[in-house]
Structure 1
Amino acid sequence: MRLLKKQHLFLLLGITALALFLSGVLLGNLAHLAACPLCILQRMLYLLLGTVGLLIGVGARNPTTQRAGAWLMMLIALVGMYVAGYQSYIQHHPDAGGCTVNSPWWEEMVYWAGEKLPLLFMSSGLCTDPGVKLLGLSLAEYSLLTFTGIALLCVLFGLRNER
């Protein structure tokens, strides 16, 4: 890791998260996959991770700011792990519940974003439907693995900056 500057690591993580966001948008639109509210929420979290990663990578020269950014990104990734984990769970146990119960605040936010930017955030699928599976895993399960990896990298970045 010494070969890369800390800012480059954040830039790389930010670009990766934005690429995942754009991949979700393209996959949904080109393959005509109906994204569910939990899919859209994960898409929003990738967008947030990418934005924070780029901001830290471009502007944070202070180790304290970099450390705070790493921990913020870790918290966002933990939320993503929860959302993707819950979606994976209900895909394996559809009788356990659906996307939501009594339309929580985040679902209203997803529908609002879908009205404002339908190309990016339109939600029309069911969370219990795994849709496409690749090598036996659903997209939600891949997202869970990705958010877990990002969270671990951010912990390493945060600890690395503390030394």
Structure 2
Amino acid sequence: MLQNILSNRRSVYAFIFLACVALMITAYFFQYVMGLEPCPLCMAQRLIMISIGLIALVGLLHGSFGWANKIYSVLLFLFAVGGMSVAGRQVWLQSLPADQVPACGPDFEFMVNNFPILKTVEVLWRGSGSCAEVSWEFLGLSIAGWTFIWFTFFAMLAIYQLIKRFTPAKTV
């Protein structure tokens, strides 16, 4: 299956897009069905995941050969690394002893509506006590841990897109 996905650029972009859609559906399931409220770092990871999905969708629809593929791949890589950074930060916060966890701060919507953008980014990056809570685990990893793995995988696929020389499809 992986070989089929990696066989051409469009299938790689399709896979990334569909994975992002599935991950966002999962995030909303956790929020609205299971009642797990997202913290500010979770919201930042969602925004990055949506951005990666949109870039992949544009790459899929455009066909993305030559310079366009390079642009989409670099953007995918940069957003994936940014996502790795945010998810990694949250995993680190979750690993802190309880006495070293930062105090809880304002929620994401309040910050976006009331803080300047740079202040919002600063507060998001610091995280809060709510970001250190682990309310769900699978195979010993929190949601942030799994998200980190997905962002890493997307970064690897972006690099693959940059270095792989695909042969054009044969016409009959």
Q: Normalized against structure 1, the TM-score is what?
A: 0.79
Q: 2:36 & 2:9 partners in 1: Cα distance?
A: 37
Count how many residue pairs are aligned between Structure 1 and Structure 2.
Answer: 148
Match of 2:37 among 13, 34, 37: 34
Q: How much has 1:98 moved relative to structure 2?
A: 5.3
Q: Secondary structure at the match of 1:97?
A: coil
Shift of 1:8: 2.0
Cα distance 1:107–1:39, how it changes in 2: closer, same or farther (>3 A)?
Answer: farther
Map 1:83-162 onto structure 2 (within 5 A).
Answer: 83-93=86-96, 94=98, 95-97=100-102, 108-109=111-112, 126-161=130-165
Correspondence 1:6-17 to 2 at 5 A: 6-17=9-20
**CA deviation digits over 1:81-121, x for unaligned, max 9?**
00000000001115153577xx7x99833989xxxxxxxxx
1: distance between equivalents of 2:89 and 2:68? 32
- Taking only aligned residues, the RMSD between alpha carbons, in angstroms, comes to 2.9
Asked whether the equivalents of residues 73 and 151 of structure 1 are also in contact (C-alpha less than 8 Å), the reply is: yes
Q: 1:61 to 1:156 in 2, by over 3 A?
A: closer
Distance 1:150 1:143, change over 3 A: same
- SS of the equivalent of 1:126 reads helix
What displacement does 1:7 show?
1.4
Can you list the C-alpha shifts for 1:118-144, whole angstroms capped at 9, x where unaligned? xxxxxxx81010111111111111111
Counterpart-to-counterpart distance in 2, 1:71 and 1:91:
30
> In structure 1, what residue type is equivalent to 2:87?
A
- Within 2, Cα distance between the matches of 1:110 and 1:34? 19
TM-score when scaled to structure 2? 0.75
Secondary structure of the residue aligned to 2:134 is coil
CA contact 1:18–1:50 (8 Å) conserved in 2: yes
Greater C-alpha Rg? 2
Structure 2 residues without counterparts, runs of 5 or longer: 116-128, 168-172
Percent identical residues: 23
Task: Look up the SS of the partner of 1:12 in the other structure.
Answer: helix
Q: In structure 2, how many angstroms separate the alpha carbons of the residues matched to 1:43 and 1:55?
A: 18
| Alignment map for 1:40-119 (pairs within 5 Å) | 40-93=43-96, 94=98, 95-97=100-102, 108-109=111-112
